[in-house]
Amino acid sequence: MTALLHTSGLTKRFAKDDVATVALRDFTLSIEEGSFVAVLGRSGCGKSTLLNLLAGLTEPSEGEVRYKDRPLSGPDTEIGYLTQSDTLMPWRGVQRNVEMPLEIRGVPSAERRRVAAGLIERVGLAGFEHHYPRELSGGMRRRASLARMLAADPATLLMDEPFGALDAQLRRELQEELLRLWAEGGQTVVFVTHDIEEALLLGDRVVVLGPIGTILLDRAVELPRPRSADALRVDPAFVALHTELAAALREGAR
């Protein structure tokens, strides 16, 4: 396996007047092609900042991001990014939102409609194709955003707390859907979450971030797949990992 995404000495500062907030300092990480990396960290430790850099949305203050061994200079359509906040176009209905990446790529409208309909069905929004984002619940908007990201069929998925706003049952379903997609398509996934259990359920590898993006723990998760949440809870290996991650997160708070 080769490193698909690689960051070296990545630093991001936000200047405001004469002071700069350092969100990320000297961050180095390699992500293998086809792996599922879960990123854990407390609020404000720089996770979203990191994903913005990995997506090419913002420029690092220092260091660089390399994608497929080339420096990343801007957004790349191979990289799909589900941002932490919703960015559905409020003046477009669900279907037209999901079609948007295809529209920009110049896909003919019949094909666009077909792909969008399939994805909308998959995220459980059938019947809401023509609803505007403001007419949907937070979780429904999240699912529409997910469908939109998948419409572009990206090889790399960056996801910032994608399932945070969903109820436990729906989250479970979408986690399974995501795993199925990943198993079939072999995408590379970077998945940011607050939830240790979710990280262990999904990830091949868990990276725990401390303040300004210090790596507190970087650990492979060798639990056998398919993983079921109910079976995992009583698995001693899972419990040990859970304890280890929780301890690392606690340490980061100090």
Ligand X SMILES: Nc1ncnc2c1ncn2[C@@H]1O[C@H](COP(=O)(O)OP(=O)(O)OP(=O)(O)O)[C@@H](O)[C@H]1O
Residues that bind Mg ion (CB under 5 A): 48, 84
Strand order in the sheet with 3-16: 19-32, 3-16, 62-67, 70-71
The answer to whether 91 contacts other proteins (rule: CB under 8 A) is yes
The answer to whether 46 contacts ligand X (rule: CB under 6 A) is yes
Q: How far is the CB of 81 from other proteins (least distance, A)?
A: 5
Among 5, 31, 40, 45, binds ligand X (CB under 6 A): 45
Which of 119, 220, 221 lies closest to 178, judged by CA?
A: 119
Q: Which is nearer to ligand X, 84 or 214 (CB)?
A: 84
Strand order in the sheet with 205-209: 79-82, 156-160, 188-193, 36-41, 205-209, 215-220
The answer to whether 111 contacts other proteins (rule: CB under 8 A) is no
Cβ neighbours, 10 Å, residue 228 = 12
In the region spanning residues 10 to 39, those forming contacts with ligand X, defined by CB under 6 A, are 14, 21, 23
45's contact among ligand X, Mg ion, other proteins, none, with CB below 5 to 8 A by partner kind, is ligand X
From 30-38, 135-143, 210-218, 229-237, span contacting other proteins (CB under 8 A):
135-143
Q: Which is nearer to Mg ion, 80 or 93 (CB)?
A: 80
Instruction: Please name every residue paired with 159 in a beta bridge, in sequence order, or none if there are none.
Output: 82, 191
Q: Are 10 and 53 in contact (CB under 8 A)?
A: yes
Q: Which is nearer to other proteins, 88 or 245 (CB)?
A: 88
Tokens encoding 17:
């007047």
